[in-house]
Structure 1
């Protein structure tokens, strides 16, 4: 499209004649890159080196900042067509829609449905949708995508049988998760601006800032002219920052490490072997690194496609594809952007495959009966249902005992009440079958000097019965679910109890739990429900002598939903990290055992397509004693990788946190 420019000072008597001492804009076809924008001093019209008789081609000019000079009176305004302007300025709903879609795509990578490939695209999609934003706007764009992601992935919270609290918790927790994505997007957009506006990026005019010309065309064109080292450093920095956010989310405000991106990749068994070195954080790093590299490659391709034939972005010599812009012309930036993560992924997959092939087999197995009663959560609070609930557990157990297992395991909260009759029936059954038994139930202890029910401390606990039916050991849950098992500040703000159905709630336990069965030569580290989603806590509870990690779970709160699948995938990473099998006995799924390579075995299914129904599973669980037990990198170093990412992110963020005026100076 052609546009004319007014003659020198024509129709503008107050304009100053341009002196040669003033900075002169260059012809853009001869600039260091094709899409460079330039600025004019007010009143200096037109540029000296561009005749008013010569039309200005849009292929050579990206834009002229209208705020830097007045429109010449009596002459036509400079017209140009920017196809991306509606995307970044005029149509905010288009950007918002893209951010929401990117967030939902990330949620779709987690079960259910578990389309794990979307996790390799979604982080880059979030940055692409927010491209060109800075400061508060960048945070808000990232928060919106993260909010959409968490709303979709945590939609099972709406199944909690307490609608008001379920809705409030779903929205509040999703907003909290979204804030981490917001900080990540802010960090990435700010560091991208610094990367592209540095002297090394060959910007055309002094003081040019990416925020003057936001959007894909400007970034794509400048991206190709930025040195490969700076581009790769930015891509790595974005992945490191994402991991730092996941590491912090696992610790701040009691912690919520439920949705690390690496967890969604459990179907890629060779890749998730990295979890034995750095937990889910190392797998997340590779996924996000690759996603941002794909974004960088896309920017390179977009920059090459927009560059004219004479642009330095294209190879001046003919290629096998002919003259002009080509994806395989020099500098082939899109291949360079993919080179590092591509080679790293090949090495990671190769190492993971070798680990799977050479992992030692178990020396022996122990037969374990896992009971899954599938009791609706509302029945737990109905005392009239205590009898039928208990009878159902006994019937399923007697069926399982016909297979003569060595260990019988009931899930969390399996014993409905403190009934002495129920307890005696259960212990008698275990003694008759000569079986070790682990079950979940409430525990209580009186507060000295305070009579009455209010003087008792209640605990969510697990108990071990020996072959004679005697209680040998117990464990009290240490990490309680906020608003699910306890109400924070309830002592000072009692109205908070109205938001939950749990009443007074539980007290946390004070020490780790270890159950030993001497005649089986098996020692178990105990966890209850939510505790097994914390990598660092599970590692601290596992001893060198530990053979199994046993988890008792009740996900009946969430009905038949994706919560059961997401929880099981978290448990698979605990097996990978610690090199120990994880046994899961659940109320309504997924009851199974997971080997040290993260593979699920003996998944209980009430029907071929239903893992939520009642039933039992007889599992032959492997034992890797002594030297055959794998000592993983995560056992030795913990989640050191996540901590290093926090430190590296903090170092990169320090210049961004200074006041903007100081940064300009």
Structure 2
């Protein structure tokens, strides 16, 4: 392995660029739906060896000294995000005559921007670089910081964070209840990069092998222990029905099909399930109602006839507010409406974190002058609620609504109102077809359940509709292309997790520890160099 490491370290020019890109692309195999995390044990050692060889010519400028490492990390990130996000371009084919020209920006432009975070991580790591285990800690620290920054800079887009590759199954998800996905990002990079030390000889290689074995065993051990501790957790007395109508996106907003779509939702809501007891809560996906519900008294009446006594419908729908305005016009919200059995909309949870260029247009007045529009918001655009609220239902359940990609942001779980007893994630992944996108989305939402110790009910127009318990175990699901509904008992929350209580504090402590190890490696190398020179 020493010979391989040296060959990679000494590559230059286009072979080096191609290898950096390919290493990033291979790492995507660790994400859903593949979950081949073994690929990351190849990609990250290659990245370590590439950074080993990312040496600049002597210069008084610190920026110039880390520039080769930045471009190595950027190419790694460009490969990673291009291979992991190419499916976003599928959304532009839905209304191709209007939006297909944006395809290069979505498929190549977005990955190029996101790759800057990985480039910055590689540059920072190189500034702390050493020749032993310290450089592994430096890389983990830098990537942990980059992935955390990616969750909020420019509104944030932490899709396919590295840590998800280390959590393919529930037993490996449990550390997220303590350190969250941000902590898992840093630890995952550390573990994935450790095999780079196998190119060393003697004690360093042995120590690295032992450390790798201990860390992987600890993750498995903690997972088995936590699942065993919560094995007595019970279900609530409530039953939930998740509806997946699988409406084709190209006809979803066709006025001539709106009644047919709505009647299909009603039919899935009223059909008899496996249990004689009707569900207490029915969940429809994001914007499932194909019109403004408050403008259709006949539709509200049909809901009242369909819902049984005591049933509550949580329906993804566009909410029109005459009292709140946007640009002098009534405001539209992407919402989760709570509807009682008598057809009364008694509460609503509006989306807080909107998708740039999807639900609203950044710099709208300027960009609209060039004919640019938000892809999923028609001409009206959506407004964002200033503060998320939980929805307290008459049956005692308290729902925390996360609409669409809000579920990929760990910090979006804070909300006003009563403490939640479940997370409700409604989405519409039909935009992306049967690609990795819907599966990646579902897997990332699943980790929110583990982090917070809450069950997660997920309803998708098409994609992956599922019910996950607070340990991330799947109770039932509908895959892409399946039209139907399933009923399941609603799991009870587990005891408050460390992550839910302290949020990013454990992650920050982990980051500080990795930084200290990186500094120790860096200064240790400097001290050894001085002794050698003396």
State the TM-score, normalized to the length of structure 2. Answer: 0.85
Contact 2:137 2:515 in 1 (8 A): no
What does the per-residue CA deviation read over 1:485-520, in whole Å, with 9 as the maximum and x for residues that have no partner? 0001112432365254332310101222222223x3
Residue 520 of structure 2 corresponds to residue 640 of structure 1: no
What SS does the corresponding residue of 2:372 show, helix, strand or coil? helix
How has the CA–CA distance of structure 1 residues 88 and 280 changed in structure 2, closer, same or farther, with 3 Å as cutoff?
Answer: closer
Structure 2 unmatched ranges of 5 or more: 56-65, 523-529
* Structure 1 stretch displaced more, 630-639 or 235-244: 235-244
Q: Which has the higher helix share?
A: 2
Write out aligned runs for 1:444-593 (5 A): 444-446=320-322, 455-495=329-369, 498-501=372-375, 502=377, 503-518=379-394, 520-538=395-413, 540-541=414-415, 545-593=419-467
Residue aligning to 1:620? 489
Contact 1:286 1:345 in 2 (8 A): no
* Structure 1 stretch displaced more, 247-256 or 237-246: 237-246
Residue aligning to 2:216? 345
What does the per-residue CA deviation read over 1:448-483, in whole Å, with 9 as the maximum and x for residues that have no partner? 899xx9621111111111232211111111110011
What SS does the corresponding residue of 1:596 show, helix, strand or coil? coil
How has the CA–CA distance of structure 1 residues 405 and 89 changed in structure 2, closer, same or farther, with 3 Å as cutoff?
Answer: closer
What does the per-residue CA deviation read over 1:210-261, in whole Å, with 9 as the maximum and x for residues that have no partner? xxxxxxxxxxxxxxxxxxxxx2333222212111111110011101121111
**1:559, 1:109 → 2: CA distance?**
21
How has the CA–CA distance of structure 1 residues 432 and 576 changed in structure 2, closer, same or farther, with 3 Å as cutoff?
Answer: closer
How has the CA–CA distance of structure 1 residues 554 and 650 changed in structure 2, closer, same or farther, with 3 Å as cutoff?
Answer: same
Across the aligned residues of Structure 1 and Structure 2, the Cα RMSD in angstroms comes to 2.9
Contact 1:366 1:623 in 2 (8 A): no
Residue aligning to 2:319? 443
Choose between structure 1 and 2 for higher RCO, CA contacts under 8 A separated by at least 6 residues. Answer: 2
Contact 2:270 2:306 in 1 (8 A): no
**1:489, 1:167 → 2: CA distance?**
20
Q: Which is higher, the Rg of structure 1 or of structure 2?
A: 1
**2:246, 2:380 → 1: CA distance?**
25
* Structure 1 stretch displaced more, 172-181 or 92-101: 92-101
How has the CA–CA distance of structure 1 residues 426 and 177 changed in structure 2, closer, same or farther, with 3 Å as cutoff?
Answer: farther
Give the superposition deviation at 1:350: 1.4
Aligned residues: 497
How has the CA–CA distance of structure 1 residues 377 and 581 changed in structure 2, closer, same or farther, with 3 Å as cutoff?
Answer: same
* Structure 1 stretch displaced more, 261-270 or 411-420: 261-270
Give the superposition deviation at 1:171: 1.6
Residue 291 of structure 2 corresponds to residue 354 of structure 1: no
Contact 1:123 1:291 in 2 (8 A): yes
Give the superposition deviation at 1:617: 1.1
What SS does the corresponding residue of 1:546 show, helix, strand or coil? coil
Residue aligning to 1:180? 117
What SS does the corresponding residue of 1:491 show, helix, strand or coil? helix
* Structure 1 stretch displaced more, 91-100 or 457-466: 91-100
Residue 173 of structure 2 corresponds to residue 252 of structure 1: no
Give the superposition deviation at 1:434: 4.4
**1:365, 1:125 → 2: CA distance?**
52
* Structure 1 stretch displaced more, 495-504 or 275-284: 495-504
What SS does the corresponding residue of 1:381 show, helix, strand or coil? coil
What does the per-residue CA deviation read over 1:31-55, in whole Å, with 9 as the maximum and x for residues that have no partner? xxxx9xxxxxxxxxxxxxxxxxxxx
What does the per-residue CA deviation read over 1:133-175, in whole Å, with 9 as the maximum and x for residues that have no partner? 1321211111111101101111110211232224312222201
**1:256, 1:83 → 2: CA distance?**
35
**2:439, 2:344 → 1: CA distance?**
34
Residue aligning to 2:300? 424
How has the CA–CA distance of structure 1 residues 507 and 377 changed in structure 2, closer, same or farther, with 3 Å as cutoff?
Answer: same
**2:146, 2:4 → 1: CA distance?**
35
What does the per-residue CA deviation read over 1:296-353, in whole Å, with 9 as the maximum and x for residues that have no partner? 222x04xxxxxxxxxxxxxxxxxxxxxxxxxxxxx43201223334323323321221
**2:164, 2:273 → 1: CA distance?**
35
Contact 2:360 2:374 in 1 (8 A): no
What SS does the corresponding residue of 1:479 show, helix, strand or coil? coil
Structure 1 unmatched ranges of 5 or more: 1-34, 36-81, 197-230, 302-330, 606-610, 657-663
**1:622, 1:511 → 2: CA distance?**
27
**1:122, 1:413 → 2: CA distance?**
39
Residue aligning to 1:105? 26
Contact 1:430 1:437 in 2 (8 A): no
Residue 210 of structure 2 corresponds to residue 279 of structure 1: no
Give the superposition deviation at 1:270: 2.7
What SS does the corresponding residue of 1:634 show, helix, strand or coil? helix
Write out aligned runs for 1:338-417 (5 A): 338-359=209-230, 360-400=232-272, 404-417=278-291
Give the superposition deviation at 1:367: 1.5
What SS does the corresponding residue of 1:133 show, helix, strand or coil? coil
What SS does the corresponding residue of 2:183 show, helix, strand or coil? helix
Contact 1:244 1:642 in 2 (8 A): no
Contact 1:363 1:623 in 2 (8 A): yes
**1:496, 1:482 → 2: CA distance?**
17
Give the superposition deviation at 1:266: 2.9
**1:543, 1:272 → 2: CA distance?**
28
**2:216, 2:122 → 1: CA distance?**
24
* Structure 1 stretch displaced more, 564-573 or 165-174: 165-174
Contact 1:516 1:524 in 2 (8 A): yes
* Structure 1 stretch displaced more, 562-571 or 112-121: 112-121
State the TM-score, normalized to the length of structure 1. Answer: 0.69
Contact 1:244 1:649 in 2 (8 A): no
Contact 1:400 1:616 in 2 (8 A): no
